[in-house]
Amino acid sequence: MATATTADSRAPRADKVAVVDEVRTRFADAEAVLFTEYRGLDVAQMAELRRRLLDADCGYKIFKNTLVRRALADTAPNGTLELLLGPTGLAFCGKDPSAAAKALRSFAAEHDALVIKGGVLAGSLLSDAQVRELADLPARDELMAQMLGAFAAPLTALASMMNSLIAEVSGLVQALITERQHSPAAADPAPSADVAGADVAGESD
């Protein structure tokens, strides 16, 4: 009986298993995960940080480091677990990691207590400097607009070229028509004397 009790005490608690599963799911669903240290931020500042990140389509969660390490033990890129030192808050980014990085960098500039530690993007580890560089990239909507502009530019040039070619061909055709209309060869030839005489002779008969 004592052995069974000891074994039960060593079994993972259901709530811890649930947290580990949640962390794994959140990492799998996020475009990027940014690691921060929040020591020194008060309740109001934490609420403001969460609001700003939410505006950037990014959720901010705090888990026990030991549970995060357990969740990422087999999947995280090398060096990720080293970011889990001290009070760690995780920013789970949606489709625009750049916007989330901007929000973090801006907040950190206003509150020294927030420290950007690094992150994970597309399966690669980011340093704190790289997260700040990520903030310098265009936002997703801006990047999409630039890409559409890049695709549209050749199409616009092609359309302009085609219009010019059509106008040129049309001008050449019109010039040929005009030339044919004013050419002496295009006029009806005057009847010769013989033909005119024959017509007159026929009429007299």
Taking each helix axis from N to C terminus, what angle separates 97-110 and 43-55, rounded to the nearest 10 degrees? 150
In this prediction the pTM is 0.64
CB-based contact 134:121 (threshold 8 Å): yes
Count other Cβ atoms within 10 Å, centred on residue 120. Answer: 23
- Note the pLDDT of residue 13: 85
115 has which bridge partners? Answer: 37
Instruction: Return phi, psi of residue 33, to 5°.
Output: -130, 125
CB atoms within 10 A of CB 129: 10
- pLDDT for 2: 47
Per-residue pLDDT tens listing for the chain (205 residues): 445 444 455 666 888 999 999 999 999 999 999 999 999 999 999 999 999 999 999 999 999 999 999 999 988 889 999 999 999 999 999 889 999 999 999 999 999 999 999 999 988 999 999 999 998 886 555 544 444 454 545 656 656 666 665 666 555 556 555 665 666 555 555 554 444 444 444 444 4
Radius of gyration, alpha carbons of the chain: 39
Return the pLDDT at 61: 95
Q: What pLDDT score was predicted for residue 74?
A: 86
**Cβ contacts of 120-123, under 8 Å, gap ≥ 24:** 120/27, 120/32, 120/33, 120/76, 120/77, 120/80, 121/31, 121/32, 121/97, 122/31, 122/32, 123/77
First-to-final CA distance of the chain: 146
* Paired tokens of 63: 């888990």
Q: Round to whole Å and give the CA distance between 147 and 178.
A: 47
Give one word for 123, left, alpha or beta, with left for phi > 0 and alpha for psi -120 to 50: left
Dist CA 55 CA 107 (whole Å)? 13
Cβ neighbours, 10 Å, residue 80:
21
Beta bridge partners of 116: 36
Could you tell me which CATH class the domain 2-137 is placed in?
alpha beta
d(Cα 26, Cα 32) in Å, to the nearest integer? 10
